Amino acid sequence: MTWLRQHKHFVLLLTLLCAFVVQSASHGLLAARVISNVFISVIVLAVLLIVFEHRRHRIIAVLLALAGIISGWVHYALASGEFDVFLGVVHYVLLSAFLGYSVAVILGNIFRRSAVGVDDVLGAISGYIIAGAAWSSLYALTFTLAPDAFTVAPGFGGQMTDWPGRTAVFNYFSLVTLTTMGYGDITPVRGPATAFAIIEAVFGQFYIAVVVAQLVGARMSNSTRQESGESLVNTVFQSGKEETRP
């Protein structure tokens, strides 16, 4: 348990990366919808258990997480029913809210740190990926309500017909937009998709700039305090030696 507490963000990052890889490869499999739902649930639970430490934050997160997980499984059970679109909208709204709230908490924890370790850096990377997943849910929500808001390259067309495929495609598109790589194989062509893409690109650049600056500043501040402490100890030690001389 001590190891897990000290390396919690490493575990979270590993879980996120595994979930993204499995989701992207699950399209076309017989149990693709089950696999997708399982890994969405795993991501939500991992974020819930690792990110939220304070009671107030955890209560809000638990409510959003449970509602998001339940709505996802209900959507899976009733995928061909008349409430398909409604359940999809509810699920994506809840998932976006939960993941966005998680990023806000991660950033708050980073800016409160006076000392930075390797696990804190991994936590910042995890927050970046979680932000991409939150935007991915917003894109999926937009596509559910307005399918003509995106143009998709022929290679992706077959994946947009089911939920797991759309999840994988929008995860890819979101991270490409967040990093401003912009391959052009998926393109938002009207609002609100165009607005979301612009805001995400700006957010991604500011996230990197601000978080890296905070981590470097905290690291330098911690090093300065350590050097000051060592200097003070050496000064006291030298003074003590001088006082004891005959």
Interatomic CA distance for residues 219 and 166, integer angstroms: 40
Report helix, strand or coil for 86.
helix
Distance set, CA 190 to CA 4, 54, 138, 165 (Å): 45, 40, 14, 22
pLDDT surpasses 50 at 241: no
Rounded CA Rg of the chain: 23
pLDDT surpasses 90 at 29: no
Spatial neighbors of 89 by CB under 8 A, at least 6 apart, are 141, 144, 145
Interatomic CA distance for residues 55 and 151, integer angstroms: 43
Mean pLDDT value across the chain: 80
User: What does the pLDDT read at residue 4?
Assistant: 67
Interatomic CA distance for residues 62 and 70, integer angstroms: 12
Q: What is the pLDDT of residues 180-228, one digit of tens each?
A: 887 888 899 988 999 999 999 999 999 888 888 887 776 666 555 554 5
Interatomic CA distance for residues 10 and 122, integer angstroms: 6
Number of Cβ atoms within 10 Å of the Cβ of 199: 14
Q: What is the pLDDT of residues 55-68, one digit of tens each?
A: 888 888 898 888 88
- For the chain, what percent of residues have pLDDT higher than 90? 21
Helix (H), strand (E) at residue 159: none
Q: What is the pLDDT of residues 78-114, one digit of tens each?
A: 665 556 778 888 889 999 999 999 999 988 888 877 6
